[in-house]
Structures are given as structure tokens and as C-alpha cells.
Amino acid sequence: MTVDPAPPAARTGAGRVAVVGGSVIGLACAWAIARAGLADEIVVHEPDDSGPDGVPASGAAWVAGGMLAPFSEAWPGEEAVFALGVDSLRRWPNLLSALEPYVPPGPPVRTATHTHMLAVDEADARDLDMAMEWAARQPDPTRQASGSGPGSGPAPGITEADLRRVTRRQLREAEPSLARVARAAYRMDSEGAVDNRVLLAALTRACRAEGVTWVRSAVTSLDDVDADRIVLAAGSGSAELAGLPVRPVKGEVLRLRARPGCEDPPRGVVRAFVRGRPLYLVPRDGGLVVGATQYEHGDDRQVTVAGVRDLLADAEMIFPGVGEYELAEAVAGLRPMSPDNLPFLGPDSTDPRLIHATGHGRNGIALTPVTVAAVWAELHAERGPAAARAAAPDRFTRG
């Protein structure tokens, strides 16, 4: 994963492994562990099976835009976040090919293979130039020693040419349905997006095929979990279980369905700042996702009128054809944010049973493959991805 396409047969005696939280991170970890034969038994503790075919629909992964976006999220000072994201992005092609047999009939997992980032005023244009110049200067994290295990070794590449500033004309040719409002634009060719819900469905099927079983109740204390190793992947529920500094950050998205005669959606992901607010348009089979708001409101998953109004107004400024679409769904979820925007990946410093795989904030879909590689390495007693070291769970508490 990056699941290794040829799973090793040997068991290493991890015994009974419990994964707490069975959304994108928990399912991907459970599948990789089961597939590699690392455990005698693997059990996912996940109370929610309310989505189609039993997938969880209350986690952030059900709501997410599904963007794989280390470059479009790049910001000076977040070197470790960027390095982790780039490492994970390189692992996605292997994950997608390993998952292929489990993708249900219908739309594919991957929905976009490039991103355009736009700035609509001068200040945003300066910020965008600064962030992209910074991203282009960052060392390639996957050229550092990256450990062994699934996904290590040379990965399908991101080249420097994948990120480039584009002219208004190039933007118009690539994305003819967008309004001509961009003061600056960049294109990134290896980012794009996955369909989060198809991904959850495929991971659920993959887990079932590898003999993973589920306990359909919430864990109230990790002490009650009967397992030799525990992988904590409970998203914003992780703070309560393990005392981690993970806080819920609410986000709303709209899912729009194309109607006959309406303008085609953008061909790739489009990201912009509009009136100081971040906006993204993510193509989906038969429509698009518009996101996302961001509020520090605690455990609040209600969609507000103001959230829908702002998203639609901002989307219309970038993609004027949006008004013809059917508003199919407005939905909110909780991003499991950490104080430094890095997740918590790796062994707990006091509980030898516990491995953290949580706190992925805005990027948990994107960071799924590198998270799996880190968990896999810990269970295998091997060195994990170099970029994951900055995400050590004890980084806020060690002296």
C-alpha cells in the first residue's frame, strides 16, 4: 500500500489485532494487515454501518472532498506536513491498483488526475506564487531513506514539471467552463482526487475478502479491547480514547448532480480563495462536490443556511454554470485536527499495545497510504516512512 501488490505470506505473530474506528484509515490499515498475514485475527470496532453496503457514514471520510492535495495545501512553515503528503501521494497508484479488484461496479475510485489552483485578487495571487515557489523548492521526501515494507522503494513519480504556473489562456483551454477571474493560476499534474465513498466501499469489500470481522459497538475504553495490538483510527473520537490533542473541526460540502443541458463540470480539481474563503470544486461521476466551510464549533454536524449560501456564492463566482445543477446533498463532518496539522502515527510511548493512526485533519484521505505504511512498519518491527517520523505521537509530550 501502499499495499504491496504481492503480499508476503509469512505471519509475524502480531496475534489478535483490533482496529478502533472503521472509516478510511481503519479500513485501509485492517486490509493491509489482513492481506499481509500479519495477524492471526483482525477485528474492526466500528459502530456505524449506516452507509450503503455497511460502510460508515458518520466519519469525516464519508463527507470529504477526496482531494489528494499536498501541493495545493502547501504552506511555508509546514515542511513536515508537505513531506508527509508528497510521500503519500506517491503511494496512491500502488494502493489504487491493489484495490482495483474490490471496486464495486460503477464509477472508479479516482475521479481527477490534476488540480488547478487559482487566485482571484492580487493579494491571493502573491500568496499563491509564494506558496508554490516554496513547494517547488522543498526536498523530495521520498529520496530520503524511506524504510522497507509496502510502498517503499521507487514509486511512480511526481516530477518538477508536474507543477507549473499557467497563463489565462492555458487555463481557459484546460477548463473552459470556469469564469475568467483568475489573476494567477497553477496546475499540478499528479494531484487530483478520489471518490471518497467509492473508496470506502472498495476498502470494506477488500476487508471482507481478507477475513476481517467487525464489532458493531463504540469502544468506551481501550482497556476493554481484547487484543495484542490496537490500531487507534477513531478520527475525532480518538481524543477521548487516548487523550490525544485531536479536536473536531466542522466542515460542510455540497454534492451537486448534473442535469440535462447544464455546463460540464471542471475536468480536474479546481481550488481558489474567494472573498478570503477557501473553495474547491471536485469532479465526481455525474456531478461535482463543492467544499468546504471550516468552523471550530466542537461536535456540530448540522448544515447551516449560511454555509450553503457561502459555498454556492463562491462556487458561482468561479464556475458560473453551477446554478443549473441539482443540489443533491448538503452534508457536514468533523475533521480530526491536531495542533500542528500533522497526524499521530506510530507506537504509543506508554502503552505497548497501542499504535496511533489518527489526527489527519484536512488530509486523511490523501494520507491514507503513508499511514498504512507507518502502521505496517510498526507491526513488522521495521523502519517506517522517513516522512512519518515528524508525526510521532509523543511529539507534544516528550522533553
Among 80, 233, 239, 244, binds ligand FAD (CB under 6 A): 233
Residue type, position 10, single letter: A
346 belongs to the binding site for ligand FAD (CB under 6 A): no
Least distance to ligand FAD, CB of residue 68, Å: 7
Q: What is the largest CA-CA distance in the chain?
A: 62
Per the CB < 8 A criterion, the answer to whether 222 and 232 are in contact is: yes
Among 59, 149, 265, 307, binds ligand FAD (CB under 6 A): 59
Nearer to ligand FAD, 59 or 385 (CB): 59
**Three cell numbers written together for 342:** 500533522
User: Helix, strand or coil for residue 4?
Assistant: coil
Q: Which residues are bridge partners to 247 per DSSP?
A: 337
**Three cell numbers written together for 174:** 484546460
303 belongs to the binding site for ligand FAD (CB under 6 A): no
Per the CB < 8 A criterion, the answer to whether 103 and 199 are in contact is: no
239's enclosing H/E stretch is helix 238-242
336 belongs to the binding site for ligand FAD (CB under 6 A): yes
Q: Which residue is nearest to ligand FAD (CB)?
A: 364
Give the Cα separation of 337 and 19 in Å (integer): 20
Among 1, 3, 24, 99, binds ligand FAD (CB under 6 A): 24
388 belongs to the binding site for ligand FAD (CB under 6 A): no
Give the Cα separation of 61 and 380 in Å (integer): 27
# chain residues binding ligand FAD, by CB under 6 A: 44
Triad 370, 375, 378: Cα angle to 5°: 125
Nearer to ligand FAD, 170 or 294 (CB): 294
Neighbouring residues of 90: CB distance < 8 A, sequence distance ≥ 6: 142, 155, 156, 157, 158
Q: Which of 88, 331, 56, 336 is nearest to 203 (CA)?
A: 56
Among 147, 192, 346, 364, binds ligand FAD (CB under 6 A): 364
User: Helix, strand or coil for residue 123?
Assistant: helix
Residue type, position 24, single letter: V
Mark residues 205-224: x for contact with ligand FAD by CB under 6 A, - for none.
-------------xx-----
Question: Which span sits near ligand FAD by CB under 6 A: 104-112, 315-323, 332-340, 347-355?
Answer: 332-340
253 belongs to the binding site for ligand FAD (CB under 6 A): yes
Q: Which of 61, 65, 68, 100 is nearest to 87 (CA)?
A: 68
DSSP E strand boundaries for the chain: 16-20, 41-45, 110-112, 115-119, 163-166, 184-188, 193-194, 213-215, 229-232, 247-257, 269-274, 277-284, 287-291, 326-337, 344-347, 354-358
45 belongs to the binding site for ligand FAD (CB under 6 A): yes
Give the Cα separation of 231 and 72 in Å (integer): 30
Least distance to ligand FAD, CB of residue 358, Å: 5
Nearer to ligand FAD, 129 or 310 (CB): 310
Give the Cα separation of 319 and 322 in Å (integer): 6
Instruction: Report the chain's C-alpha Rg in angstroms.
Output: 20
Among 63, 98, 345, 354, binds ligand FAD (CB under 6 A): 63
Question: Which span sits near ligand FAD by CB under 6 A: 34-42, 89-97, 176-184, 362-370?
Answer: 362-370
**Three cell numbers written together for 35:** 492481506
248 belongs to the binding site for ligand FAD (CB under 6 A): no
**Residue that is written with C-alpha cell 499511514 in the block:** 371
Least distance to ligand FAD, CB of residue 370, Å: 11
Among 19, 25, 128, 203, binds ligand FAD (CB under 6 A): 25
Nearer to ligand FAD, 173 or 300 (CB): 300
Nearer to ligand FAD, 10 or 227 (CB): 227
Nearer to ligand FAD, 41 or 121 (CB): 41
Among 29, 30, 64, 225, binds ligand FAD (CB under 6 A): 64
Among 2, 17, 31, 58, binds ligand FAD (CB under 6 A): 58
Binding footprint of ligand FAD on the chain (CB under 6 A)? 20-26, 45-48, 56, 58-61, 63-67, 218-219, 233-237, 241, 251, 253, 291-292, 333, 335-336, 358, 360-366
